[in-house]
A and B are shown apart, each in its own frame.
Chain A
Amino acid sequence: MDDSITLKGIKDGLLVTIKPGGKWSERMKRLAALIDGQGNFFRGARVMLSVGARNLGQRELQSAQKMLAKRDVALIGVLSESMNTTGAALKLGLRVDLGAADMVTSPVAQVAPLPHKPPRIDPEERGTHGVLLRRTLRNGRTVHSDGHVVVLGDVNAGAVIVAEGDVIVWGRLRGVVHAGAGGDEAAVVCALYLAPTQLRIAGYISISPEARPGKPQPEKAMVRNGRIEAVAWDYRNMG
């Protein structure tokens, strides 16, 4: 295959590199044929010509510009190591360098650009959101969330938390809590000391037992066997 012409994608168009050697007019014919052979691919494209050390005058550049324009391709600039060529390009109002951002693009012809594909998000993580409150919720405070609620502090009696997701309290939970308020029966409520005035998960309601013997321990409440049950919240019950 003829590799006298190579193409690269750049920020604002295509970089067309014309290899040294050969007659300029032959190379332009070859480029014209290349463009014509691609159907509509080049239509509306913006092209930067890289000509190496080739010495070109205004007339040659203008004819190249005309040839491209006929095919609905705009010549935006010419890259060259030749002072004459660069000068001619400048006189025609063409750019003679790449923007900084264009220096690090990958060649279209050799390697396909990396597809813009976001990393796969585990369905479990998708849409997970919530609020974090780093204070004690006092009597009279109400918190609503369509996600999860995490409290670093106590939830005092008289405070209310309504969450469509889970409720985690790193402190003493004495207020009213409704987890899974949108109907999610898999929602859980965890607290270092679980003694809510009233605890609701989805459509279930429970109240804390009056006296709880022994030392307070972290607990997790969830719906099990058709009612709300609390289990020790520790390494044995992480699932």
Chain B
Amino acid sequence: MGARVITITSGKGGVGKTTSTANLAVALAQLGKRVVCVDADIGLRNLDVVMGLENRIVYDLVDVVEGRCGLRQALVRDKRVPQLYLLPASQTHDKTAVSPQDMVTLTNQLRADYDVVLIDSPAGIEWGFRNALAPADEVIVVTNPEIPAVRDADRIIGVIEAEERSIAVSVVINRAKPDMIRRGEMMSVADVLEVLAVTLLGIVPEDRRVTTASNNGAPLTLADRHAPVSRAFVEIARRLLGEEIPIRDPAGEGVWLRMARRLGLGR
């Protein structure tokens, strides 16, 4: 059986699926796991850019599916971390070039040689998402503490729950801004979980350096392992591997705020 196949999705675009995939992949590889990232966003690839591997791509996922190359030939190795690979998406093909069954076949080939296969899903609930979901053992839904993002996360969880086979679903709350949450200007972690009612895998704070890191092609977890974002991803990776690490509320509600809320003064 080998690898666990974990699909990272969100419903809504722009919540940080791709950066989360890249950072989580780096964190897992740093923990000694053999990791392959699969970019399932065919036609709009960018996991390679975020990981800084764009210039080393020779073949892509569609080439593998259509038999123009072997699976190993298409894998790009990240030289900065041991045992981290990328199977890039095709930039030129239409997403219909790949079927859900193709994805199952392809990931089954990867299972034997790796510990974790991370699939970066495109936004939406259409074909591309179906491709990314088909081979998944588990799904991580990335969301932001914002109502539109949570709405779409809720929708996508509903779609996953409607699948015949049961797929474990957990959520990562990305780009949490503690000061805004404290002022009641942003949904709190509790607010998000109240709607989604699934396992919380981790909370990643907002950090503008994530954007810089993506532009530089070096995920922050790789560039600065002591940044709060990097620590959050390492914790998420360790939780995925079965460790029990308590999750801290980024808003770090003090006693006063909690009392105020209890008295109905908060929010």
Contacts and interface: CB of A to CB of B under 8 A. Distances in A.
B264 A158 contact: no
Interface string B59-72: 00000000000000
A156 B154 CA distance: 8
A139 B158 contact: yes
A138 B264 contact: no
A154 B197 contact: yes
A213 B264 contact: yes
A139 B197 contact: no
B247 interface: no
A138 B159 CA distance: 9
B76 interface: no
Contacts of B197: 136, 154
Contacts of B195: 154, 156-157, 174
Interface in B154-168: 154-155, 157-159, 161
B151 interface: yes
Interface string B176-195: 00000000000000000011
Contact of A214 (B157, B158, B161, B264): B264
Nearest to B195: A156
A66 interface: no
Interface residues of B, number: 12
A144 to B, nearest CB: 17
Interface in A117-144: 135-136, 138-141
Contacts of A135: 161
Contacts of A140: 155, 158-159
Nearest to B154: A139
Contacts of B158: 138-141
Contacts of A158: 151, 154-155
Contacts of B115: none
A139 B264 contact: no
Interface string A141-177: 1000000000000101110000000000000101000
B152 A139 contact: yes
A215 interface: yes
Contacts of B151: 139, 157-158
Interface string A193-231: 000000000000000000001110000000000000000
Nearest to A156: B154
Interface in A73-130: none
A215 B154 CA distance: 25
Contacts of B159: 140
Contacts of A157: 151, 154, 195
Nearest to B194: A172
A139 B161 CA distance: 12
B161 to A, nearest CB: 7
A97 to B, nearest CB: 55
Nearest to B162: A141
Contacts of A139: 151-152, 154-155, 158
A140 B195 CA distance: 14
A157 B187 CA distance: 15
Contacts of A154: 195, 197
Contacts of A156: 154, 195
25 contacts: A135-B161, A136-B197, A138-B155, A138-B157, A138-B158, A138-B161, A139-B151, A139-B152, A139-B154, A139-B155, A139-B158, A140-B155, A140-B158, A140-B159, A154-B195, A156-B154, A156-B195, A157-B154, A157-B195, A158-B151, A158-B155, A172-B194, A213-B264, A214-B264, A215-B264
List 4 A-B pairs, minimum CB-CB distance, nearest first: A138-B158, A139-B155, A139-B154, A140-B155
Interface of A: 135-136, 138-141, 154, 156-158, 172, 174, 213-215
Given A154-B197, A157-B151, 5 more contacts: A138-B161, A139-B154, A157-B154, A158-B155, A174-B195
